[in-house]
Amino acid sequence: MLKAQIKVLLKQSVLDPQGQAVEKALGALGYNNVEKVRVGKYLEVTLAENDLDAANKQVQEMCERLLTNSVIEDYTFTLVEV
């Protein structure tokens, strides 16, 4: 089996209100060297699939169809054996 570890972040061009709020909170806790925070999502999708190329293609398709919204988000993923 293969597990896709998918990271989703808002595009750099899209304002991230959550990230800004966390950034301010860290500042309030005294972490004055925090330059920037972006908040995203992490998804794990386990596939009954051993072929890396096939899994790669399928995960990309799933990201584009449902898991992410290409208008506001970017994603990256890695496949690991489980």
Partner 1 sequence: MKFGVVVFPGSNCDLDAYHFVKDVLAQPVDYIWHQEESVAGYECIILPGGSSYGDYLRSGAIASFSPVMKAVKDFALRGGLVIGIGNGFQILVEAGLLPGALYRNTALQFRCQFTYLKVENYFTPFTKAIERGRLLKIPIAHGEGNYYVDKDTLHRLEVKGQIIFRYATEQAEVTAAANPNGSVFNIAGVCNENKNVLGMMPHPERAGEAILGSEDGKMIFDSILKHWEGSRL
Q: Does 28 bind partner 1 (CB under 8 A)?
A: no
- For every residue of 9-73, which 3-state class applies, written as one string? EECCCCCCHHHHHHHHHHHHCCCCCCCCCCCCEEEEEEECCCCHHHHHHHHHHHHHHHHCCCCCE
76 is a site residue for partner 1 (CB under 8 A): no
Between 1 and 21, CB nearer to partner 1: 21
Phi, psi for 45 (deg, rounded to 5): -125, 115
Q: How far is the CB of 77 from partner 1 (least distance, A)?
A: 16
Nearer Cβ to partner 1 (69/76)? 69
- The footprint of partner 1 (CB under 8 A) covers 10, 13-15, 17-18, 21, 66-67, 69, 71-72
